[in-house]
Amino acid sequence: MESLQLATAIAKVLDKKKASDVKVLKVRDLTVLTDYFVIATGTSSTHVKSLAEEVEFQLGEQGVKPLRTEGYDSKNWILLDFGTVIVHVFYPEARSFYDLEHLWADAEPVDVKFEEDETDAQ
Write out the DSSP string of 33-49. Answer: S-SEEEEEE-SSHHHHH
pLDDT bracket for residue 6 (50, 70, 90): very high
In terms of Cα–Cα distance, which of 34, 36, 14 is closest to 25?
A: 36
pLDDT of 5 higher than 80:
yes
Pick the CATH number of 3-111 from 3.30.750.24, 3.30.530.20, 3.30.460.10, 3.40.718.10: 3.30.460.10
What is the phi/psi pair of residue 67, to 5°? -75, -35
Region 26-44 average pLDDT: 96
* Contact call for residues 4 and 56 (beta carbons, < 8 A): no
pTM: 0.91
User: What pLDDT, in 10s, does the model give residues 98-111?
Assistant: 999 999 999 999 99
- Give the chain's length: 122
Q: Give the domain ranges of the chain.
A: 3-111
What pLDDT, on the 0 to 100 scale, is given for residue 121? 46
